[in-house]
Chains A and B, each alone.
Chain A
Amino acid sequence: MSLTERLEAYLSRIWSTPVAVSDLSRIPGGASRETYRFNARADGETRPLILRRDPPGSLIETDRNLEYLAFESFHGALPVPRPVAMEPGGAELERPFFIMERVDGGAAASPFTVLPYGDHARAIGEQFFRILGTIAGADPTNLPLAKKAERPEPDDCWRIALEHWTKVIEDDQQHPQPIVWAAIRALRRRPPPPAQAVRVVHGDYRTGNFLHDGAGKILAILDWEMVHLGDPLEDLGWAMDPLWGHFEADKVGGMLPREEALALWREASGLQVDETALAWWSLFNAVKGQAIWTSAAKEYRDGGFKDPVLAISGWYTARRHDQILAEALMRMEGLS
């Protein structure tokens, strides 16, 4: 049974009407979900949709319930696609998946390119950090996400995050990594202050994880698979990690000078940026990145070396994050 036929069977069942699926095609990029675009025609109406399906081997183990609820939480308030259906058991598609409405006419930048936003970098950057500030400013209490997401105490956010990603490295590392272990010990020795508020953390908020129209407008914030509640500075540190800088040292995310980005975030979130705390979360995010790349390398090997996205993640990005970590550790000790 083809994937098209499986989708038709599933949608026909849940919509209680015959559904014809057409133009199914996989979208490149990403290793934590297989992403497909397709059209579903039912009762004379055609709906442009996206399927996000778990691959046989996933880059990161994530909770698709939370991902779906994140779309529910922010659709309508922010440029976030409307979720349509979710099946953690896989149903007719045999692997867990969810379906959302498709946003056409947009492009996602590859993080490995230079000047991906051209003359619109400032406009995109302003929206990018305002949207992140809006996510950080939202009280999660009444959001759909709060139904499933665990809410840590403010002084536990750092510990939970660090222990989670440390365990990923412990479980998946195939070659000793002294640099990341030194960073983990440094983070444990100098914990950050408690979170000023426990908020929604997108978990992978960065250049490349949103669609833009090529004319300076962000159309959709995507890739919520690592969403959780925690310290909102976690997202800020990830968004500003040098890995996502598009080779522009004077701009975060290749979009805006750091201070301007922070000012926009502060204004939109109503929160403050404690530089000591942000330094901790920045180093943490390089550890988190290294954990993800460590898993990618393991999945690449376990999957028979067939997914080149896992290869680039487990190889190039891992080495780049070793550089970032080594530089951060030197700065921390006043050695550079």
Chain B
Amino acid sequence: MTPSVSDILVGNFLCMAEPGPPEQQGEFMAGKVGVVALLSLLAAQEAERGAAARVTENAAIREILAEAALDYGLQGGWPADPVELTIGGLDRVNAALRLALISLHEAVEKRGDTVRHASILQLYAQMAELRRLDLPPLPGR
């Protein structure tokens, strides 16, 4: 997933550090501050849950790949999570696992393997839920 939580927090600093031209003060700056504040709130959720979500997703993808390995002639050897569970390190492993999952799903669809197709769709729902970010109930105006 991009951007990462560290990208977001660095971006929050960078976008506020440079003073804009006069026409970008006032209402525009107020709007920008509001978006930065919202990003900070979401970043707090990601800082709390992000690493665990990636560990869980990576394990779930490995499991579905391993289960299908024999039927689909998969080579195995999927990367393990790094010893230090950084977001960046987990994302690098996640990218490799997701590519393998996409390939498996294409093969499953081609073969008409409805049972595994359903399992993969359920995994997608789990993945999306793991990465969920919750907006607060911001009032409209």
Residues of chain A whose beta carbon lies under 8 Å from any beta carbon of chain B: 2-4, 24-29, 36, 107, 109-110, 112-118, 174-179, 181-182, 185, 189, 246-247, 297-298, 300-301, 304-309, 311-312, 314-316, 318-320, 322-323, 325-327, 329-330, 333, 335-336
A-B contact pairs, 22 of them (CB 8 A): A4-B23, A26-B24, A36-B23, A110-B138, A112-B135, A174-B2, A176-B98, A176-B99, A177-B98, A179-B127, A182-B120, A189-B109, A246-B140, A305-B7, A306-B14, A308-B11, A311-B35, A314-B3, A315-B39, A319-B1, A319-B131, A336-B125
- Bound Cα distance A315, B99 (Å): 20
> Is the Cβ of B128 less than 8 Å from the Cβ of A308?
no
- Interface on chain B toward A: helix, strand, loop, or mixed SS? helix
Q: Does B38 contact A (CB under 8 A)?
A: yes
Proximity bits, B88-117, A CB within 8 Å = 1, else 0:
000100110011011001100100000001
> Is the Cβ of A247 less than 8 Å from the Cβ of B137?
yes
Residues of A within 8 A of B133 (CB): 315-316, 319-320
Partner of B128, one of A300, A319, A336: A319
Counting from the closest, the 7 A-B pairs by CB-CB distance are A28-B31, A116-B140, A305-B11, A176-B98, A113-B140, A26-B28, A308-B35
Q: A305-B10, A316-B133, A322-B131 are in contact. Are A185 and B106 (CB under 8 A)?
A: yes
Residues of chain B whose beta carbon lies under 8 Å from any beta carbon of chain A: 1-3, 7-8, 10-12, 14-15, 18, 21, 23-28, 30-32, 34-36, 38-39, 42, 91, 94-95, 98-99, 101-102, 105-106, 109, 117-118, 120-122, 124-125, 127-129, 131-133, 135, 137-141
- Bound Cα distance A93, B39 (Å): 32
- Bound Cα distance A116, B137 (Å): 11
Q: A25-B28, A26-B23, A308-B35 are in contact. Are A176 and B95 (CB under 8 A)?
A: yes
> Is the Cβ of A323 less than 8 Å from the Cβ of B137?
no
Partner of A308, one of B12, B121, B132: B12
- Bound Cα distance A297, B2 (Å): 6
- Bound Cα distance A172, B43 (Å): 23
> Is the Cβ of B106 less than 8 Å from the Cβ of A305?
no
Closest beta carbon of chain B to A26's beta carbon, Å: 4
Closest beta carbon of chain A to B65's beta carbon, Å: 12
- Bound Cα distance A29, B21 (Å): 17
> Is the Cβ of B138 less than 8 Å from the Cβ of A182?
no
Residues of A within 8 A of B132 (CB): 319, 323
> Is the Cβ of A323 less than 8 Å from the Cβ of B23?
no
> Is the Cβ of A29 less than 8 Å from the Cβ of B15?
no
Residues of B within 8 A of A318 (CB): 1
Residues of A within 8 A of B42 (CB): 315-316
Residues of B within 8 A of A336 (CB): 125
- Bound Cα distance A302, B49 (Å): 26
Closest beta carbon of chain A to B7's beta carbon, Å: 6
